[in-house]
Amino acid sequence: MIGGYADSPLAKGMDAIFREYEKLFREEGVTAMDPLGKPFDPHYHEAFGFMDKKGVEEGAVAEFFRPGFLLGDKVLRTAKVRLQQKKK
């Protein structure tokens, strides 16, 4: 962490809170999406532009900014992604 705050009481407290949220989400069946390399699907992804990344098929998710989450098979939040651009 910047400025040596990783060992501060605030940082330790925030870390503990995030671990508890992750535990609660797992117990309730909430899972994070793994969109990288998958074809774009507007039901699961919110596209925010294009990029050129080697090894990724045209129109597939090349990068994500914000993870998406599922509750079972229902979308709680879409993933914000960039797509592989068309080859010229």
Query: pLDDT by residue for the chain (88 residues), tens digit each?
Result: 455 677 889 999 999 999 999 999 999 999 999 999 999 999 999 999 999 998 899 999 999 999 999 999 999 999 999 999 876 5
Instruction: Kindly tell me the sign of the dihedral angle through the C-alpha atoms of 74, 26, 81, 86.
Output: negative
Single pTM value for the model: 0.73
Is the separation of the CB atoms in 68 and 75 below 8 Å? yes
